[in-house]
């Protein structure tokens, strides 16, 4: 992404470590983990002002650009930073949610409760979308 949204080592180290290795090649000794609400607040602190200046339409365009990059990475993971592309999509989605005043944790919990909202089973046993 052009101007941010990816957790760097510098800001990731300020987060709550939980003792799981990020990856076998990572320089980070601990995985920094945030729940979705914490991540959204983190993104608001990092990029809220820039997101507001850019606006919803421009932020949406960055999100779609990153979705395209994620598609490329899924097709050719060996030549892309696949985890980074997932993080970029989440970051831009979160920025867009911030601009719309949407709490992602609340929205996701409401839309996808404990069981499938259609069949009310867990795991889902719906005949559609296999």
User: Could you tell me the two tokens for 38?
Assistant: 């914490």
Candidates 15, 12, 5, 43; CA nearest to 26 is 12
Q: How far apart are CA 11 and CA 2, in angstroms?
A: 17
Q: Which is nearer to Zn ion, 27 or 127 (by Cβ)?
A: 127
Report in angstroms how near the CB of residue 110 gets to Zn ion at its nearest: 16
Report in angstroms how near the CB of residue 112 gets to Zn ion at its nearest: 11
Q: Which is nearer to Zn ion, 31 or 116 (by Cβ)?
A: 116
Contacts with Zn ion by CB under 5 A lie at 116, 118-119, 124, 126
Q: Which is nearer to Zn ion, 23 or 128 (by Cβ)?
A: 128
Q: Give Cα separations from 34 to 29, 39, 41, 48, 78 (angstroms).
A: 16, 6, 10, 18, 27
Report in angstroms how near the CB of residue 125 gets to Zn ion at its nearest: 6
């Amino acid at each position: 992404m052009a101007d941010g949204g990816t957790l760097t080592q510098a800001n990731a180290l300020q987060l709550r470590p939980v003792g799981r290795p990020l990856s076998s090649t990572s320089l980070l000794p601990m995985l920094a983990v945030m729940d979705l609400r914490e991540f959204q607040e983190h993104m608001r602190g990092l990029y809220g002002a820039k997101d507001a200046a850019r606006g919803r339409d421009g932020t949406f365009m960055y999100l779609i650009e990153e979705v395209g990059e994620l598609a490329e990475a899924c097709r050719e993971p060996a030549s892309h930073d696949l985890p980074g592309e997932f993080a970029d999509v989440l970051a831009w989605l979160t920025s867009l949610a911030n601009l719309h005043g949407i709490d992602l944790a609340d929205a996701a919990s409401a839309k996808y409760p404990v069981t499938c909202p259609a069949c009310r089973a867990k795991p889902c046993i719906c005949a559609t979308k296999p």
